[in-house]
Amino acid sequence: MVARVRERLDEQGFREFCSKLGLSEETIRVQIEMARKFHDFLRKRGKGDLSCATTDDLQCFVVQSIKNGTNTWDNLLALLRYTRFGRNRDMEVALLELLDGSDVLENLSETLRQTVGE
């Protein structure tokens, strides 16, 4: 079954999500613009929306961002917020790894072991 492609990003919902985080209006505007770029990228790849996106889609978008000179920490953070809003946990973890380094899951596992045991 082919996912129905959403023509527009849920900007109002994402705006409310960002507002609850206490972000300034200017920051929210930038976050929405980055989410819109990723949403458009997904549409071009035939994805219905963020819920259909994969970590491969994210990797391709990041490679494209590197080529365009737009692969910044702030833009990755905007994508992280967008994936949290869209509840795409696989992409959220992938973005955390990009932002914090490849050892994030290992550190999380160690913290959990120390806190709750094996």
> Residue 92 belongs to a domain with what CATH number?
1.10.150
Percent of the chain at pLDDT > 70 equals 90
28-75: pLDDT as tens digits = 999 999 999 999 999 999 987 788 899 999 999 999 999 999 988 899
DSSP conformation letters of 15-84? HHHHHHTT--HHHHHHHHHHHHHHHHHHHHTT--SGGG--HHHHHHHHHHHHHHT---HHHHHHHHHHHH
Q: Is the pTM of this model over 0.85?
A: no
The answer to the question of residue 93 being in a domain is: yes
Q: What is the span of the domain harbouring residue 97?
A: 11-116
pLDDT for position 1? 37
Name the domain count of the chain. Answer: 1
Cα 75 to the chain's mean position, in Å? 9
Asked whether the predicted pLDDT for residue 12 surpasses 90, the reply is yes
